Amino acid sequence: MAGSGRAQLRDGAEALLRVEDLVAEFPAGRKQVVHAVSSVSFDVAEGETLGIVGESGCGKSTVARSIIRLNPIRSGRVVYRGQNLAELEGEALRRVRPNLQMIFQDPISSLNPRRRVRDVIGEGLAVWGDDRGTWSRDRIDELMAAVGVDPRFGGRYPHQFSGGQCQRIGIARALALDPEVLICDEPVSALDVSIQAQILNLLQDMKCRYGLTVLFISHDLAVVKNVSDRIVVMYLGKVCEIGAADELYERPVHPYTRALLASIPDPAATVDVSEGDIGGELPSPVNPPEGCRFHTRCPRATELCRQTEPSMARVGDGDHFAACHHPVLVAAPAPR
C-alpha cells in the first residue's frame, strides 16, 4: 500500500485552506520534545465542513491552534488563499487573522470575565473599525439575536450566563468580523448533552447563513458524522485515515478508525467494525513508537508495522485514504 504523505490533498484550485506536512513540537524539559503534530496534511474546500477526530492527546487542538498561529509551527505550510500563514509575521499576519476565527472548548473561560458581553462580542469590531465593519450597537444586537441571546442582556457579565449561553456568545464573537473559516475546537464537549444538539444546530445555521467553511474538531465520532462532509482521523500526531463522512463510516479501513466506531453504541449499524479490544494506553508523544504509531495497540500489527511507517494511499476508487500496511478492505454495502 504505497503512497505519498500528501496523497490525500486535492488540486490547489479546489482548496480554500491547505495544511501541508505540518509539524508542531513543544519543549518538555531536560532536552525532551513533545511531538504534538507530525507531518499532518489535509485540505478544506470552500463551503465544506471538515471534521477532525481522535482521542485526547492526538494533536487535534494543536493543529487548529497552529493554523491560526496561536501555536508555533516548526515546519510545514498552512496555505490560505495562496498565502502561507506559516511565513507571515507582524502586520501581514494580523490582517489575515480576521478571516480565520476560532470557537474554543471551554465556553466560560474563553470569555473575559471582567468585560460585559456586549464588549466581548464587539472587541474585534472596535479594533478593526470601518476596515471590517462599523462597530455599533445595532451590529452587536444583530449578532446576539442570531445566536439566540437576548440583546437586552448585553450589559451582563459572562458569569451571569450558563455554559450553553456562553458558547453562543463565543460564536457571536467569532462571527463579528465576517470570517471565511470557522475553527470549532470541541465546541460542545464541555456542555450538557441536552444543550449539545442546540449548539450543533446553531453552528449549522450559522454556516448556511454566513457561507462559512468549517473545521470541526471533536473526540466524538457520532457528533462529527452529523456535521461533517469529510473526516480526518488522527492518532498520536498523525493522520491515519481521511475520507467522505458516509464512506468512512460505512467502510472504515484503518484498525484505529474501526476501534473508534466500535465504541459508539449504534443499534442501527450496518457494518461490522469489531476488531477486539485495542487495549493499552496512548503512547507518550515525547517518545512515539517507531514505524506505525498505532502498532503498540493494533490487533493486526506485524513486524512490518513495527519497523516501517505506512504512507497515505488511496483506498478504492474515491477520495478515501488511509495510512496502514494492513487495511481492512470491505465491499461497499448493498443499496437499501
Concatenating the DSSP letter of every residue in 35-71 gives EEEEEEEEEEETT-EEEEE--TTSSHHHHHHHHTTSS
User: Are residues 174 and 101 in contact, defined by beta-carbon separation less than 8 angstroms?
Assistant: yes
Mean pLDDT of 151-160: 95
pLDDT at 138: 84
Q: What is the helix, strand, coil percentage profile of the chain, to 5? A: 35, 20, 45
Kindly state the DSSP code that residue 70 receives in the 8-state scheme.
Answer: S
How remote is the C-alpha of 329 from its chain's centroid? 26
Alpha carbon distance 235, 241 (integer Å): 9
What confidence tier does 330 reach under pLDDT thresholds 50, 70, 90? Answer: low
End-to-end CA distance of the chain: 31
As given in the structure block, the three cell numbers for residue 146 are 442570531
Mean pLDDT of 233-246: 95
pLDDT at 316: 78
Alpha carbon distance 174, 107 (integer Å): 12
Please indicate, yes or no, whether the overall pTM of this predicted structure exceeds 0.85.
yes
The closest alpha carbon to 167, from 151, 155, 185, belongs to 185
Alpha carbon distance 118, 111 (integer Å): 11
Residue 332 pLDDT > 70: no
Q: What is the DSSP string of 177-239?
A: T--SEEEEESTTTTS-HHHHHHHHHHHHHHHHHHT-EEEEEES-HHHHHHH-SEEEEEETTEE
Q: Of 137-146, 246-255, 273-282, which gets the smallest average pLDDT? A: 273-282
Alpha carbon distance 217, 59 (integer Å): 10
The mean predicted confidence, pLDDT, of the chain is 88
What confidence tier does 6 reach under pLDDT thresholds 50, 70, 90? Answer: confident
What confidence tier does 278 reach under pLDDT thresholds 50, 70, 90? Answer: confident
Alpha carbon distance 22, 39 (integer Å): 5
Residue 2 pLDDT > 60: no
Query: Amino acid letter at 216?
Result: F
Number of residues in the chain: 336
Mean pLDDT of 93-107: 92
pLDDT at 272: 62
pLDDT at 1: 39
User: Are residues 27 and 19 in contact, defined by beta-carbon separation less than 8 angstroms?
Assistant: no
Q: Does domain 12-292 have CATH number 3.40.50.300?
A: yes
As given in the structure block, the three cell numbers for residue 277 are 479490544
In tens, the pLDDT along 38-81 reads 999 999 999 999 999 998 889 999 999 999 999 999 999 999 99
Calculate what percentage of the chain has a pLDDT beyond 90.
67
The closest alpha carbon to 99, from 176, 20, 42, belongs to 176
As given in the structure block, the three cell numbers for residue 111 are 470569555
Q: pLDDT higher for 76 or 136?
A: 76
Q: Of 74-83, 173-182, 188-197, 233-242, which gets the smallest average pLDDT? A: 188-197
Mean pLDDT of 287-309: 94
Alpha carbon distance 220, 235 (integer Å): 14
What confidence tier does 125 reach under pLDDT thresholds 50, 70, 90? Answer: confident
Task: Return the ∠ at Cα 168 (arms to 36 and 261), rounded to 5°.
Answer: 45
User: Are residues 211 and 47 in contact, defined by beta-carbon separation less than 8 angstroms?
Assistant: yes
pLDDT at 268: 55
What confidence tier does 26 reach under pLDDT thresholds 50, 70, 90? Answer: very high
Count CB atoms within 10 A of the CB of residue 165.
21
Mean pLDDT of 219-230: 89
In degrees rounded to 5, what are phi and psi of residue 103? -110, 130
Mean pLDDT of 247-251: 91
User: Are residues 53 and 259 in contact, defined by beta-carbon separation less than 8 angstroms?
Assistant: no
User: Are residues 125 and 177 in contact, defined by beta-carbon separation less than 8 angstroms?
Assistant: yes
pLDDT at 331: 56
Q: Is 34 left (phi over 0), alpha (psi -120 to 50) or beta?
A: beta
User: Are residues 179 and 150 in contact, defined by beta-carbon separation less than 8 angstroms?
Assistant: no
Q: pLDDT higher for 222 or 85?
A: 85
pLDDT at 333: 53
